[in-house]
Each structure stands twice: as C-alpha cells, then as structure tokens.
Amino acid sequence: MPEQGKTPLRKLLRVPAGGVDLSAYDAGAKPGGPRDKKAGLAATADMGEELAGLQDRLWASSTAGDPRRVLLVLQGMDTSGKGGTVKHVIGMLHPYGTHTKAFKAPTAEEREHHFLWRIEKEVPRAGEIGTFDRSHYEDVLAVRVRELAPPEEIERRYDEINRFEQRLADDRVTLVKCFLHISYEEQRRRLLRRLDRTDKQWKFSPDDIDDRALWPAYQRAYEIALSRCNAPHAPWYLIPADRKWYRNWAVGRLLLEHMRALDPQYPKPGYDVEECRRRLLGE
Amino acid sequence: MPEQGKTPLRKLLRVPAGGVDLSAYDAGAKPGGPRDKKAGLAATADMGEELAGLQDRLWASSTAGDPRRVLLVLQGMDTSGKGGTVKHVIGMLHPYGTHTKAFKAPTAEEREHHFLWRIEKEVPRAGEIGTFDRSHYEDVLAVRVRELAPPEEIERRYDEINRFEQRLADDRVTLVKCFLHISYEEQRRRLLRRLDRTDKQWKFSPDDIDDRALWPAYQRAYEIALSRCNAPHAPWYLIPADRKWYRNWAVGRLLLEHMRALDPQYPKPGYDVEECRRRLLGE
C-alpha cells in the first residue's frame, strides 16, 4: 500500500492548543485518509502486520527492562464507535500485550475513592498497549453535564487530570487520546439501526433517546476538556467518525505513527547463542 | 467449508476416564482434522465468524442475567504453543468479552496465599470467554517435578482442584482444558528455531535446555494430573500439537463445539421498539 498523503495524521488531526469549536468540524470528513471505503478497509488491514510487529518488539523490549508502553484513550458520544474501534484496531494485535478496559458508571466502591483511583489500576504495564473505552474524562464530561459533582470540584479535576497525565508521560507512557466525533444525525441513524436488528436491540435503551437532549451540553463539555487537557505529552486527536472505515483507519494510523516513533528493538541475547545451539544439537 | 468428519472433536480428543500413557500418543497426528496445512488454515479462518457470533450472543445474553461463561485452560511443555493458540484462536474473537491470563511463577505475595488464590481472581465473569495460559495445574506439575512443596501437600491439591472445578461448573463455567502435546524432538526443533532468529532469541533461555532433562518427569506429572482431575464437568482434551495448524484448528473447533452446545440467545428487548422508533424519527 502506498502511504496516504505526506502529512502525518498526528499533525492533521491534532486538536489545536487554543481548543476547538466542534460544530465547525465535519464528522463525515476524511482528512488524510484513503479515497473511499474499499481503499480504507484495505489500508487498515494492511496496517495489521506492521502494528503487530511493533507490538511484538515493544513487548520483547520490555522483557529487557524497557519501561515504555502506550495508552490509547477512546472517548465519544454513545454509538460513536468506541467498541467498534477496539474490535477492528486492537483486534489486529496479539491479545497478549494488550490491555483493554471499558469504564462504566462507577461502582459504589469506586465512588468512595478519588476519581483517578480506578483509572490508576488499569494503566498499562511496561510493554503493553492499553486501551480505555471511556476514561477519567467521564469525570469532567458526564459528571459535568449531569451535575454529579459540585462545580468547584469539577473545576479542580482538569488540573488533576493534567498532573496525572504528566506523571504517566514521565513514567514512559505514550498517550494517544482520540475523540470520536459523530454528528447528531448519524447518531439517530445508528440508534435506529439498533432498533431494526434483533441482534442489536439489546444494546439499546430508551434512555439513549432522552440523552440526546443533552447533546449540546456534552459537545460543550468535550470542547472544554479538549482545550484544558491537551498537553504536548498527552495530545487529543479529533477523529471524524461518521464513516466507520475512516475512524478505524485513522485510529490505527495514529497508533502506528506513535509506535514507529517509539521504534522498540528486540533485545540482544544475554547468552551464548552458538554454545546453546551446540548443546541442543549434541543432546 | 464442509464439516470435518462426523465424530465431535470433544469425543475424539477426550482424555479417557482411566487416564493416558502419553508415549502412546503421536504428537504429529491430526485426528478428525483437515487433510493438510492449507485446508487446516482455511478451516480455522472459517470458524472465526461463527465463533465471534457465538461470543457476541454469550455476551449479550449475560447483560440480561445469563450467568454462563467459558474457561479455556491451556497447558503444555515449553514451546508447545500456548501463546500461539491464544494469538490464532482467541485472536479471532472480539477483545471485549475475552479475558486472557498468562500465569508465571508465583510472586512473593501469591506464594503467601493458597495456590488457588491468584487463580480465583482471574476466573471469567458472566458472558466472558476466559483463557488461562498455564493455570492452577502448574501447582501439581512444575511444583511436583521440582519438589517445590511437600509430597503430602501436592497429593491434597488434586482433590482441591477437583472441588474448585466442581464449584466453577456449578457456577455455570464451561471448562475446556487442553493439553498441547508435543514431542521431545519437536521441542528441540522449536528451541533451535528460536536461536536462529534475532526476533525470537529473547524468548530463549539456556535454562530451557537444562529443563529438557526433566522431560520424563513432566510427562509423568501430566499423566497423573490428566487422570486424577478429569471430571465430566471439567474434561481434559489431548491436542496433538507438533503441527501448529492442527493445534489451532483443534482448539478452535473444541471451543466452537462447546459454544454451540451453550447456544446463547440475544435477549428480547425490555422496551417498546415501535415507540422508540417513532420517537427517534419524530425528533
């Protein structure tokens, strides 16, 4: 496959330092992407081998003390395709060395702790590629929109998130935060599709319709989070996600660019290869 | 793809109640399997869709209270292909709803607890397909061969394992225990291959050669475990594993047969589909 375009996606999709007006971003766009769906599916499949190879090297390298790991954070409105991205992108990797966590509404025990307590426990270990489907950002998104915490506490959380992510970066975690941006209309289509299919109806709840009334408030909460927690070592990427094939391609491509930059290497053997070969052959 | 043969693999590969003499089993055999490697790879790939579909139904069903889950246990000598099986079989499933755990030598903390303590924590939850790469069986295999516990304690463990697995089965865990059976010669070939490849040398340790002296003791320990912990609700399967393509096909096929027997169903919606459709369309 020829490389798509010349500009790295990590530049093209990077949320600018000044923040964003989400309504100005076309959720159906495909910046830097393949021409059409067919080319997009092929290009995504083509990434699999290189991604899995880089994952293998990252893992191997960790066995020799390399502390580096990757954390992919997926955020987006209901039906924006967080689960689908895990299936199609993370599904290309070896199950070992990946660690995927879907954060639901906090349990009673989790609510008794600091909001980062449950997050901390799921941070990937050296050599791993971790994925968060929802994350600590829910504590400044859902919690803000639904007024589940006092405003001054939510206010404090942006700084706490920034310090937490700074610490992760210091600890050699490569953060790749992706906001899957879908349109209000596309969400309606996806919800209708869930209603139409007996194998998808279980994913639907009438609450999903009620929640659509909160759409503008959520978009605003995302704009604030994307602007206030967007350090160079913990960047946000805005992924137009109305087209599933583009979304998968873009997230896969971002992961690939970050993994290539890490460029992990297989460790040199700490034993005498020739001697071991002789011993095995001479048994 | 036509079905391979008529006899279910869960009958063909089942370790008989009386136990086994491993030396009588050809690790290069392919009972019930496709004719050759090409057909085997195709047949395995063809299972992917049905397996993923059954997994989706099992998961969906759990959201409506179905407590059932699956636990695949993989055991075998070094290089027998436990990790490769995870990659090629579990890798066909959605990362959500799978839970894979590789058990290493117990940590200091784990050694302070009962040997089942760390196992218990990794048992799959309702709707999940769990995989253990090594398991509680190491506590009657490695521990027995290396004399890491008093004989009378090891003796007790077989019964403890049986009670533990009985409880899992009562708790609606479908157990599928696979012993990946390779030959002494094939292990030599695989170790030599690791030495030959710079991207595999990190997986090798000179200890792997020393351990080969323990081969007969390990085979004996496996025979004992396969005979003493082999209840109908926690069956052992003996997978000839010298051919990687057969091993993957056979484990995939066993998983498929067990999932088909579970036959999980999508839950019926607990809301009025038509009304929700009208609301969405009328927004």
Q: Dihedral (C-alpha) A185, A189, A218, A244: value to the nearest 10 degrees?
A: -100
Rounded CA gap, A224 and A233, in Å? 18
Interval A220-232 mean pLDDT: 98
Please check whether residue A3 lies inside any domain of the structure: no
Please state, as a whole number, how many other Cβ atoms lie within 10 Å of the Cβ of residue B149: 16
Task: Count CA within 13 A, CB hemisphere, residue B95.
Answer: 26
Domain range for B182 is 9-263
Local structure of A108: helix, strand or coil: helix
A243 pLDDT above the threshold of 70: yes
Chain B residues close to A202, C-beta within 8 Å: 60, 63-64, 266-267, 269
Across the interface, do B267 and A90 touch by the CB < 8 Å criterion?
Answer: no
CA A207 from chain center: how many Å? 25
* A166 to chain B, closest Cα gap in Å: 28
State mean pLDDT over A136-140.
Answer: 98
CB contact under 8 A, B96 and A100: yes
Domain assignment present for residue A275? The answer is no
Query: Phi first, then psi: what are they for B174, rounded to 5°?
Result: -85, 115
The residue to which tokens 């067990």 are assigned:
B258
Q: Which residues of A touch B56 (CB under 8 A)?
A: 199
Residues of chain B positioned with their CB less than 8 A from the CB of A278: none
Report how far residue B255's alpha carbon sits from residue A49's, in angstroms, rounded to the nearest whole number. 26
Is B3 within the bounds of a domain?
Answer: no
How many domains does the structure of chain A reveal? 1
Strand order, beta sheet including A236-240: A98-102, A129-133, A69-76, A173-181, A236-240
- The answer to whether position A2 is within a domain reads no
Nearest-CA neighbor of B156 among B143, B167, B175?
B143
CATH of the domain at B170: 3.40.50.300
Place of tokens 């323990």: B214
B258-264 long-range contacts (CB < 8 A, ≥24 apart) are B258/B10, B258/B70, B258/B174, B258/B176, B259/B51, B259/B54, B259/B55, B259/B58, B259/B70, B260/B54, B262/B54, B262/B58, B262/B68, B262/B70, B262/B174, B264/B54, B264/B57, B264/B58, B264/B60, B264/B61, B264/B66, B264/B68
pLDDT digits (tens, 9 = 90+) for A41-74: 999 999 999 999 999 999 999 999 999 999 999 9
Task: Record the tokens describing residue A83, joined without a space.
Answer: 């689960």
User: Is some CB atom of chain B closer than 8 A to the CB atom of A56?
Assistant: yes
Which value does ipTM take for this structure? 0.92
Residues 6+ apart with CB under 8 A from B40: B30, B33, B34, B243, B245, B246, B248, B249
Q: How many CA atoms lie within 13 A of B269 on its CB side?
A: 19
| Rounded (5°) CA angle A84-A88-A90 | 105
Instruction: At B95, list the tokens.
Output: 């990362």
Residues of chain B positioned with their CB less than 8 A from the CB of A209: 276, 279-280, 283
pLDDT at A283: 83
Q: Is residue A98 part of a domain?
A: yes
Confirm whether B220 is domain-assigned.
yes
Closest in B57, B202, B268 to A64, CB measured: B202
The alpha carbon of residue A267 is apart from the nearest alpha carbon of chain B, in Å, by 6
> What is the model's pLDDT at position B206?
96
A280 touches chain B (CB under 8 A): yes
**In this predicted structure, what is the pLDDT of residue B1?**
43
* Of B62, B65, B77, residue with least CA distance to B22: B77
DSSP per position, A164-182: HHHHHHHTTEEEEEEEEE-
pLDDT reported for residue B3: 52
pLDDT for the residue A1: 43
Which tens digits make up the pLDDT trace of A149-193? 999 999 999 999 999 999 999 999 999 999 999 999 999 999 999
Q: Among A188, A203, A277, whose Cβ lies nearest the Cβ of B195?
A: A277
Instruction: Give the C-alpha separation, A223 to A218, whole Å.
Output: 9
Taking an 8 Å cut-off on Cβ atoms, the answer to whether B95 and A87 are in contact is: yes
**What is the tens place of the pLDDT at every residue in B228-275?**
999 999 999 999 999 999 999 999 999 999 999 999 999 999 999 999
Where residue B81 falls (left for φ over 0; alpha for ψ -120 to 50; beta otherwise) is left
Q: Which amino acid is at B270?
A: G
Q: What residues of A are in contact with residue B205 (Cβ under 8 Å)?
A: 271
Residue A282 domain flag: no
Please tell me the distance in Å from B73's CA to the nearest CA on chain A. 15
* Contact residues on chain B for A103, CB-CB shorter than 8 A: none
Task: Establish if B272 belongs to a structural domain.
Answer: no
A241: Cβ–Cβ under 8 A, 6 or more apart, which residues?
A: A27, A76, A80, A81, A180, A181, A182, A247
Shortest distance, CA B87 to any CA of chain A (angstroms): 6
List, as ranges, residues 76-95 from A with C-beta within 8 Å of B: 83, 86-87, 90-91, 94-95
A 173-232 residues with CB below 8 A of B?
Answer: 188, 191-192, 195, 198-199, 201-206, 209, 212
> Over chain A, what is the mean pLDDT?
96
Please state, as a whole number, how many other Cβ atoms lie within 10 Å of the Cβ of residue A202.
Answer: 21
Indicate the residue type of B208.
D
Q: Which residues contact residue A87 at a Cβ distance below 8 angstroms, ignoring those fewer than 6 apart? A: B94, B95, B96
B93 contacts B282 by C-beta, under 8 angstroms: no
Q: In chain B, which stretches have pLDDT less than 50?
A: 1-2, 4
CA geometry: angle A278, B192, B100, nearest 5 deg:
140
Q: Using a CB-CB distance cutoff of 8 angstroms, which residues of chain B are in contact with residue A201?
A: 266, 268-269, 273
B241 touches chain A (CB under 8 A): no
Q: How many residues does chain B have?
A: 283
Q: What is the pLDDT of residue A5?
A: 54
User: Across the A/B interface, how many CB contacts are shorter than 8 Å?
Assistant: 107
